[in-house]
Structure 1
Amino acid sequence: MALDQVRGLGDAVRAAPRPVRPCRRTHSGTRVRQELPVSTPPVIVAGGGPVGLATAFGLARAGVPEVLVIDRDTSVGTSPRAMVYLFPVLEGFDRLGLLDDLKAEAVRGPGVTFLDHETGEHFPQLVDTLEGVVAHPYALHIGQDQVSEILLRRLADFPGVQVRYGTELSGLAQDDDGVSVHLRTTAGEETVRAGWLVGADGAHSTVRRSLGLGFEGFTWPDRFISTNLRYDFTAHGLPIASWRIDQVYGAVIALINDSGLWRFTFREAGDLPDEGLEQRIHEHYATALPGGGDYELVQFAPYRIHQRAATTFRAGRVLLAGDAAHLTNPIGALGLTTGFLDSFVLSEALAAVVTGRADETVLDAYAHARRQVFLDLVSPRATQTKRLVFDTPPGPAKEAALAHLRHLSSDPDARREDQLTMRAMATPSLLGSASGR
């Protein structure tokens, strides 16, 4: 099995294949209604991950009568990916009525602490400075697979939403009136017609490629190894969210849930083979885990990391969101954060177009605004943070960066101002930017 499928101690952890998964079901997976017939939905969402599901939820909640979500995987992915969500995302989930569901399963975090591995100095960047300034002055730690499961449960409230896993988009064609989407399943092939298509189908987006869109940017020469493990980091003085600065031992370390499961992400050379990765993880742990001691490696996965954006986020009746539209390295929790912020504004705008409350030009506004946010704010910030944590050698540049962190740690006003810059990553409602029909 290829290592791009997440492995837990060498074994695949994905659920056994199943051709169709209804969206209305209990948390345990018990079916509570039969699959809906495929009709002509106003919107098809390609991608049954968190961004696609959040988009479907936002559309349904805003009055779109039918939404079809498709995903070629047979179930929600469980690979160790995004897990921390900051106040702009929490505000969006609050507007959708989903925040309480997340809080019920998440660990509440106080912010992140930078650690200089060489000196042991801590630079806490706590978000208590946002008390009374933003509605949710904290972070939530919860795996993106759990977020997807919550969204699936809540989508069951909307009988017009159908979620079909094990359904691959193999091609598309569009005209002035809609999009024809060609689907492939184990039962055969079919073509489904819709008014609009949202491509939220990830970094290797079939939707984006079918449109012939460029994916401009670069790929980092190294790659990240994301691991989930059980180890008592707090016993060795680490807070529940840390970014450790070092060219060799740089790492992202964060508590995932109350069961004692932690995320530990480090980097290695991008040209190393997949073979032997598990052994290299254990070898890295031997010197990288603070204090040594026993641990349990639960899951791991290697990821190439990129800074890329599609040349446009709209092509006719097709729109892109999340990793299909843009990719960033995950340092700073800005990858899925940006995808959710896409979803919140896109679902509102597209629902208004579908229901006749806004002109299609609002979708051009979406495509422009979200691409500029990524290029001007998200990618530069994530790039700067990645270079600080993993790539900065000892010397004047590192000392200047640490001095800045030291200043933010000791000056609550400066820290608040820095943290509030994230608000600009959330695009306000665009409905005022298009005339009603």
Structure 2
Amino acid sequence: MSANVSPILIVGAGPTGLSLAIALRQRGARVIVVDRQMQGANTSRAAVIHARTLEVLEELGVTAKLLEEGIIVPKFRVRDRDRLLLDLDFGELPGSYPFTLMLPQDQTEAILRARLQQLGIEVQWATELDTVVQQGDRLVAHLRSPAENIDMHASWVVGCDGLRSKVRQAAEIPFVGGTYRQEFVLADVKMDWPLVRSEVDLFFAPQGLMVVAPLPHDRYRIVATASQPPEQPDMSYIQRLIDERGPSSEPGRINEVIWSSRFHVHHRLAANVICGNIILCGDAAHVHSPAGGQGMNTGIQDAVSLADPLLHAMKGDRSPLLAWADTRQKVARSVVRLTDRMTRLATLRSPAACTVRNGILSTIGRIPSVRDAVALRIAGLDY
């Protein structure tokens, strides 16, 4: 690509922004990546990498390293305390990756950053987008950092900067939806756990949902709905969640809380993902419940599939880019619907409604074609 073409500015150096930068750089594009955080400020957060995402990341040259560092989990099971309601076997999926890979987000980001560095690009940390203005066929972005303020020209600006996206705000794109009443607790722990480490378990209980998933280094990820949880839930708080919602016949026992937090969950979609030469990707374009571990996966798939259409647009042909936007918005709407249904099913309180839900899930589990369709959907292989 010609050196006199203004660079593509990617705002946000999470998995979405890093994946897009790698895909574009591999195609010869000039790329600048900025992130308002200091390097290393990100925590583990998302931890699920689904089969379709592993396929997509092959072209970036990082899948082998992800597999080396993560833990392969071929089973997803839904339980009501000790009762198994639904057993999904990803081992029966088509393709090269018939499983879910569990790896904390900070490790995923480190692998993506290392690949980007191999391609000659360093993230500009502690650099925040202040404003971006369209001037003719390019943009002028004002960036702030502790060292200096910069006005730079960009051919395109891609917002990969999350829920409170400055790029989306600058483009005045509405972010339509709402916020779940419940808060969520997230914790990485070491514990004695009665169930095998080859499965992710979603537990239903009157107090709310809880997900327990294995992580590398004998750790576990716990995600649970909660009412007014502390800002950093401690061992006794997490133990109470395990006691109330996990297996009752053989309860788990927390030995150490490595990291914990609480957060509100939104379900929102950007009204559109292209405005002039501004594009939204990942959480800047769509946010939803963590049920099913879809968030980071959808963002990475947004990013890698954007590279070619964006380069076509830079050469004057916007039609592939508009087709990309239409396709990815349909996927995002589908993901929001799926995760919303999963969350509402998991947080039912009425005993009668819970009985009906459990019966439906048990029936699904006995119909192979339906069970396989659900597994394909969660793995992202139905898009």
- Normalising by structure 2, report the TM-score: 0.91
The aligned runs of 1:187-198 (5 Å cut-off) are 187-198=147-158
C-alpha change, 1:222 and 1:315, in structure 2 (3 Å) is same
Give the match's secondary structure for 1:231.
strand
**Structure 1 stretch displaced more, 322-331 or 88-97:** 88-97
Q: 1:245 aligns with which of 204, 228, 244?
A: 204
Residue 264 of structure 2 is matched in structure 1 by 304
- Alignment match, 1:127: 90
Contact 1:41 1:68 in 2 (8 A): no
User: What secondary structure sits across from 2:61 in the alignment?
Assistant: coil
Residues 202-228 of structure 1: per-residue CA shift (max 9 Å, x gap): 111011111111110110011101111
Taking a change above 3 Å as real, the CA distance of residues 364 and 280 of structure 1, as seen in their structure-2 partners, is farther
Whether contact under 8 Å (1:182, 1:190) holds in the other structure is yes
Alignment of 1:260-409 (within 5 A): 260-269=218-227, 272=228, 274=230, 277-278=233-234, 281-282=237-238, 284-285=240-241, 287-288=243-244, 290=247, 291-354=251-314, 356=315, 359-375=317-333, 377-395=334-352, 397-409=353-365
- Whether the 8 Å contact between 1:114 and 1:243 is mirrored in structure 2 is yes
Find the residue that maps to 1:164 and give its secondary structure: coil
Give the deviation of 1:418 after TM superposition: 2.7
CA distance in 1, matches of 2:232, 2:155: 48
User: Residue 7 of structure 2 corresponds to which residue in structure 1?
Assistant: 42
Measured after TM superposition, the shift of residue 100 of structure 1 is: 0.8
Secondary structure of the 1:220 match is strand
Aligned partners of 1:334 and 1:294: how far apart in 2?
27
User: Which amino acid counterpart does residue 176 of structure 1 have in structure 2?
Assistant: G
Contact residue 113 and residue 239 of structure 1 kept, 8 A: no
State the secondary structure of the residue aligned to 1:312: coil
Q: Report the equivalent of 1:414.
A: 370
Give a deviation string over 1:387-428, Cα, whole Å, max 9, x none: 122235321x3333323332343343332233234577776x
| More off after superposition, 302-311 vs 276-285 | 276-285
Give the Å deviation of 1:236. Answer: 4.9
Q: 1:96 to 1:191 in 2, by over 3 A?
A: same
Contact 1:49 1:148 (C-alpha < 8 Å) held by counterparts: yes
1:333 positional shift: 0.8
**Structure 2 unmatched ranges of 5 or more:** none
1:68 Cα deviation from its structure 2 partner = 0.4
> Once the 2 structures are TM-superposed, how far is the Cα of residue 285 of structure 1 from its aligned partner?
4.3
Name the SS for the 1:391 alignment partner.
coil
Kindly indicate whether the alpha-carbon contact (under 8 Å) linking 1:43 and 1:67 is maintained by their aligned counterparts in 2: yes
Residues of 2 paired with 1:208 and 1:177: CA distance?
A: 19
- CA separation of 1:413 and 1:236: change in aligned 2, threshold 3 A: closer
Q: Which residue of 2 aligns with 1:105?
A: 69
Equivalent pairs, count: 377
Distance 1:129 1:409, change over 3 A: farther
Counterpart position of 1:86: 50
CA contact (8 A) 2:85 2:358 kept: no
Query: Does the C-alpha gap of structure 1 residues 326 and 63 become closer, same or farther in structure 2, counting only changes over 3 Å?
Result: same
Q: Distance in 1 between matches of 2:100 and 2:312?
A: 31
The 3 A distance-change label for structure 1 pair 216 and 240 is: same
Kindly tell me: are residues 71 and 360 of structure 1, through their superposed partners in 2, closer, same or farther at Cα, counting changes over 3 Å?
Answer: same
**1:138 and 2:95 matched:** no
In 2, the alpha carbon distance for the partners of 1:423 and 1:239 equals 16
Label 1:240 to 1:208 Cα distance change in 2 as closer, same or farther (>3 A). Answer: same
Q: 8 Å contact 2:309–2:321 — kept in the other structure? A: yes
What secondary structure is seen at the aligned counterpart in 1 of 2:98? coil
> Whole-Å Cα distance in 2 between the matches of residues 207 and 293 of structure 1?
44
Whole-Å Cα distance in 2 between the matches of residues 401 and 93 of structure 1? Answer: 36
Distance 1:82-1:362 versus aligned 2 partners, 3 A rule:
same
**Which secondary structure does the structure 2 equivalent of 1:331 belong to?**
coil
What is the DSSP-based 3-state SS (H/G/I as helix, E as strand, rest coil) of the residue aligned with 2:96?
coil
Question: Cα distance 1:276–1:296, how it changes in 2: closer, same or farther (>3 A)?
Answer: closer
For structure 1, the 5+ residue unaligned runs are 1-38, 428-437
Cα deviation digits, residues 257-307 of structure 1 (max 9, x gap): 1x11111111222xx375684477256347346525451011011111011
- Cα distance in 2 for partners of 1:148, 1:236 equals 29
Distance 1:329 1:107, change over 3 A: same
Equivalents in 2 of 1:107, 1:43: separation in Å? 35
**Structure 1 residue identity aligned to 2:80:** D
Structure 2 CA distance for partners of 1:409 and 1:238, relative to 1, 3 Å: farther
What is the one-letter code of the residue matched to 1:255? P
- Does the residue aligned with 1:60 lie in a helix, a strand or coil? helix
| Cα distance in structure 2, aligned partners of 1:311 and 1:210 | 14
Task: Name the aligned partner's letter for residue 204 of structure 2.
Answer: I
Question: Within 5 Å, which residues of 2 pair with 1:67-216?
Answer: 67-117=31-81, 120-130=83-93, 133-159=94-120, 161-216=121-176
Q: Deviations over 1:69-103 (max 9, x none)?
A: 00000114432411112121111112333211211
- In 2, are the aligned partners of 1:46 and 1:71 still within 8 Å (CA)? yes
Cα RMSD for the two superposed structures: 2.4
Identity of counterpart residues, as a percentage? 26
Q: How many angstroms does 1:41 deviate by?
A: 4.4
